[in-house]
Chains A and B, each alone.
Chain A
Amino acid sequence: MNNNPSLFEQYTNFDRVNWEKILSATYETLFMTCFATLAVFFLGITVGYLLYRTTQRSHKKTIVAQFLSGIVNLFRAIPFLNLIVLLIPVTKLLLNTITGPAAALPALILSATPFFARMVETGLRDIDRGVLEVADAMGMTAWQKFSKVYFPESLPTIVSGITSTAIALVGYTAMAGVIGAGGLGNLAYLEGFQRNNATVTLVATFIILVIVFLIQWTGDILVRKIDKR
């Protein structure tokens, strides 16, 4: 045995890679990302819509608007690592555990929702005001206006927003490793850092990159397909 492996050898020592662990870590990362993205999608659209509606010209800047805006800014300002630790008691109360992929979800969702909600709000603001006047003149109800005008007319912004959000979430899942949430980041930390296994870190990083590129690629294609402007 060589006691002093070269740099190249450190990164290509595939014998020490436990592929089963890699697979399950990949699965955990995907689970956290997908679930959180889905939740952030619905929550973010709701919050973004509320942010937009409450600050429209026709409304006065109401207390609701200021409250909402304040909360959103607050959660956007808290660093993810702090948030996840801060939320440990809440997570315990909600899920009865503080480890495993599910335990990371509250923090993931809470930190990404404000980020995405702001993008939704921007998308809504960009809608042609005349089109909204048409909607009013046709006598649309609030729900019809949302489903037939607001949502479809801001969809490209929403899709590119959720793409960026999902990519950010992949990064957050890696950080969630600190509370033992599992996933590729966690694996890289446990195996790669603590047991000095650079190859695992490399593989984990590679898989994370593939996931990120896949998300970006899908998002770009979707936006191109739906944007008929």
Chain B
Amino acid sequence: MITFHDVSKSFITNNGQKIKAVDQVNLTIQAGEIFGIIGFSGAGKSTLLRLINGLELPSSGSVEVAGQNLAQLSANELAKARQNVSMIFQQFHLLWSRTVIENVQLPLEIIGTPKTQSLQKAKELIELVGLAGLEDKYPSELSGGQKQRVGIARALANDPKILLCDEATSALDPQTTQEILELLININKRLKITIVLITHEMDVIQQICDHVAVMSDGRIIEMGEVVDIFKHPQHTLTRQMVQSTGIDMNESLIDLWAQYSNVYPKGTLIQLTFDEQTVDLPIVTALSQKYDIPISIVYAQIHTLKTDNLGKMIIHIEVEEAQLKQLLQSFINAGVQAEVIDHE
């Protein structure tokens, strides 16, 4: 759906300096997925997003959207191509001079949709985003969450193929953020719209994205399936971000291990990692009964990603070497990753 080939974008600042906002980016976004871009302020995320709807053109490299290279389009063709791409923003950017329904109708006015038709469509969309009854309110009379819903309805009005979200939930409280994220997933599923969202919150990525790219200083430093990034973050920055969500898959567990090795000076600590298939099976209990050994659960946590549930568990046992080997093998056979983290 969207392909970046070696895309760079530079700006000349007011004092004549050259800034590379986007630097040699290659990426592919599949039709129908939710793709997240995460990075700190100034990483170049918004610029990357603006390259997708042609508000910026690349300094070098090429951006292909729905099979069209944006830089090669005439002004007319570009305007038409933009009809396929909509955008929502952190600060909503609604027209205060228009009511809710008039805001939603705006994109339809631009393409000359007849009045009755556009009214019908706007009503449907307002219903879809859960604002029925508020059609004639002005944005100043709405809460942040409601404003963002208007933004979403407006963005959907011209039946786009792609929805770009620039920090769409950053100005909202956690509860409202949840609601908006659910709405986005809903839209992605029901309307089959490809969503590209940028954020500085890993929680958002965790909850709704299929793929994620981590950006720093204009470059993509890490990219892949969200589950993989959460399981095996490569870059320090990514690791920090993953940790910030409280899904302490790696580094921070080391502290836990240290802690528990004191509590359990004897025996073995084993870390188990469950995936979607195994996370809700009673494997530990089953094996405990099968081999008739007591297994104490030291630590357990399940994290819900969009595509996967990830379970982490630390167990403690005191058994013979041979039985330990057997037990580990049984875990692996059951599809659970088992790792000895502390032994005697």
- Residues on A facing B (Cβ under 8 Å): 128, 130-131, 133-134, 136-140, 144, 148-149, 152-153, 155, 226, 228-229
Contact = CB atoms under 8 A, between A and B. Distances in A.
Contacts, number: 55
Interface in B83-135: 83, 85-87, 89, 91, 93-98, 106-107, 109-110
Contacts of A140: 110
Given A139-B79, A229-B140, A134 B93 contact: yes
A131 to B, nearest CB: 5
B199 to A, nearest CB: 17
5 contacts: A137-B87, A138-B110, A139-B110, A152-B97, A228-B139
Interface centre among A130, A149, A226 (most CB of B within 10 A): A130
Nearest to B85: A137
Contact of B95 (A131, A139, A144): A131
Interface of A is mostly: helix
Contact of A153 (B78, B89, B95): B95
B276 to A, nearest CB: 37
B53 A152 contact: no
B82 interface: yes
B40 interface: no
Interface residues on B, range: 20 to 34
Given A137-B55, A228-B140, A152 B98 contact: yes
Nearest to A136: B55
Nearest to A145: B110
B260 interface: no
Nearest to B75: A139
A3 to B, nearest CB: 65
Nearest to B154: A134
Contact of A228 (B79, B83, B85, B138): B138
Contact of B97 (A136, A138, A144, A153): A153
A134 B80 CA distance: 15
A185 to B, nearest CB: 38
A148 B98 CA distance: 10
Contacts of A130: 89, 91, 93
Contacts of A149: 95
Given A228-B139, A229-B96, 8 more contacts: A131-B93, A133-B55, A133-B89, A133-B93, A134-B87, A137-B86, A139-B82, A148-B95
Contact of A139 (B83, B89, B93, B94): B83
A228 B96 contact: yes
A149 B110 CA distance: 12
Contacts of A139: 78-80, 82-83, 110
A130 B94 CA distance: 9
Contacts of B106: 138, 148
